[in-house]
Structure 1
């Protein structure tokens, strides 16, 4: 079987950064808009990002998991991306509410929401993988670690470069550049279990 990891790395990186360009653009255009406008727009953009990412991932996974239901994979990935964006938007949308909470309430809620965000895509995709790949539950862990690492890289790169009053084009360019680094990081980490599944004999342990 051909080496899958390099193909996964290139395809998933390209798919994610392409999809992420949509919310990066929408976010820059709606930064001063009211939540009633900005939130639905960003959720819709998140759905596009998730769908493009799901398509890219499935195009590689079908090489080693021919029974993978592509449409379902894309659908659950898009839905999970919308959930992740919804969680991420809670903090800025309800800033006047949670800033008044005591630390004893704020910290555990923040941790739970953070875990939900990081695990949203992995859990959704696991529902598709669980009957197709051995130890599919590990996908949840790898996916969460991948997004944690990717988002950390994104914020470390992009946040210092964004400044009030910047042109929209500059804001978008910085976001997309950070998105490329995030996408490559995420693809590299999630490529580990994909590479394992591509090894001869590994999938024979699954009732297919």
Structure 2
């Protein structure tokens, strides 16, 4: 069983690496989004974001369990991030069509899309964790909570700061600030979940 001190060290290491990895990775879609609205490029940038995040997280996970497949973790994280961005781009670029539908039809679509996005990363990573932690299924729900909180933080920060007609540099800077706070929020929640999984192991 992990000691209190070891759990604290694990959380701190995970928080630092995950925050840094997600922030660095998020710069790719933030910069791409500042200069173009191409859904294909944004999905590709999202995959880059996921790969960088996965690589940072794998550094900590490999210290916890040397048998964990680091490349598998990075690949799963990259694919899940691309999926999440693809769902988001479908919603954005079909906004006009969705606005023509009755509210009773839009709400279920939005709910399914939102749930799919929130569960995507944790589910993909669960396929790697399941052979290493007996309660790995909890990782799916922890990630959903973490990303939900992180996205709320991002929206709360960027919505009042982004204004029409701003230069690309300012758009990117606001996006980077929101991305940093989103990353820290997500890292804090998933770090707590990881230490709990370690105790159960």
SS at 1:134 equivalent: coil
Check if 1:30 corresponds to 2:61: no
Contact 1:80 1:124 in 2 (8 A): yes
Contact 2:135 2:197 in 1 (8 A): no
Equivalent positions of 1:4-153 (< 5 A) are: 4-31=10-37, 38-153=38-153
Q: CA deviation at 1:134?
A: 2.0
Task: Give the corresponding residue for 2:170.
Answer: 170
Q: CA deviation at 1:7?
A: 0.6
Q: What's the CA shift string for 1:51-73, capped at 9, x where partnerless?
A: 00000111101111221101111
CA distance in 2, matches of 1:166, 1:102: 33
| TM superposition outliers: structure 1 runs of 4+ over 3 Å | none
Task: Give the corresponding residue for 1:194.
Answer: 194
Contact 2:136 2:197 in 1 (8 A): no
Q: CA deviation at 1:149?
A: 0.1
Q: CA deviation at 1:96?
A: 2.0
Question: Over aligned residue pairs, what C-alpha RMSD do you find?
Answer: 1.1
Task: Work out the number of aligned pairs and report it.
Answer: 195
CA distance in 2, matches of 1:91, 1:179: 20
What's the TM-score once normalised by structure 1's chain length?
A: 0.91
What's the TM-score once normalised by structure 2's chain length?
A: 0.94
CA distance in 2, matches of 1:180, 1:118: 19
